A and B are shown apart, each in its own frame.
Chain A
Amino acid sequence: EVQLVESGGGLAQPGRSLRLSCGASGFSFDDFAMHWVRQVPGKGLEWVAGIGWNSGSIGYADSVRGRFTISRDNAKKSLYLQMNSLRADDTALYFCVKDMVGYYGDHRGWYFDLWGRGTLVAVSS
């Protein structure tokens, strides 16, 4: 079955860290760029970070740059998001998302054709 399954969410105190993971199955993971997108409760979607197929290109939203790190392990068919210095406004449902192509960060992007169900991150003291 073609799917993405996120894990690693939970409750964290402000200033602490969490690491999200995403396992891919049913497609050739190392052929595609991947992304993290989040949804604040009751709000819309926000793109967080993207990574190319070989980790050669990476990008971040301004709101997380310098605090979050996206990475991937193609041998394990896994995507990661290391979240440091967490803030209350990082509270959200985090989705792992597959790109249509392998590269990220070119002049123009592509749409996203596969999403996971998400993992919930709550940041509170």
Chain B
Amino acid sequence: DIVMTQSPDSLAVSLGERATINCKSSQSVLYSSNNRNYLAWYQHKPGQPPKLLIYWASTRASGVPDRFSGSGSGTDFTLTISSLQAEDVAVYYCHQYYSTLYTFGQGTKLEIK
């Protein structure tokens, strides 16, 4: 199975500041046939369903604010929130769909400093 490792496990950032979450896969999730990275990011707030933020490593899902961005390729990926808002407090997960034995990172808990 592809192991997904996120860092840090938790993060406290001041309102308006940048938040950066990293995700590393144990093998490349870049498919050479279409040059796509099979990597998604989700936001999960307590009591709510997880929400798709980013897919193909860098494409924002419909309705996601442009302060959220994804980058990276191969095995190393980053989710960046350019200016943290109070409503961004959540747990964030990366997800590889390169293999249909899907796997997720352990999650990064984002809080306000």
Contact = CB atoms under 8 A, between A and B. Distances in A.
B54 to A, nearest CB: 9
A105 B100 contact: yes
Interface residues of B, number: 25
B93 A44 contact: yes
18 contacts: A44-B93, A44-B107, A45-B93, A47-B102, A47-B103, A50-B100, A59-B100, A106-B100, A108-B97, A108-B99, A109-B100, A109-B102, A111-B40, A111-B95, A111-B97, A112-B95, A115-B50, A118-B49
Contacts of B93: 44-45
Interface of B: 31, 38, 40, 42, 47-52, 55, 61, 93, 95, 97-107
Contacts of B31: 108
Contacts of A105: 100
Nearest to B103: A47
B38 A108 contact: yes
A46 B3 CA distance: 11
Contact of A116 (B47, B49, B98, B105): B49
Given A45-B93, A105-B100, A118-B49, 18 more contacts: A37-B102, A37-B104, A45-B104, A46-B104, A47-B101, A47-B102, A47-B103, A50-B100, A108-B31, A108-B98, A108-B99, A109-B38, A109-B97, A109-B98, A113-B52, A113-B61, A114-B49, A117-B47
B100 A43 contact: no
Nearest to B34: A108
Nearest to B62: A113
Contacts of A106: 100
A87 B60 CA distance: 38
A115 B100 contact: no
A109 B95 CA distance: 11
B107 A95 contact: no
Interface in A15-69: 35, 37, 43-47, 50, 59, 61
Contact of A43 (B97, B101, B106): B106
A118 B49 CA distance: 7
Contact of A111 (B55, B99, B100): B55
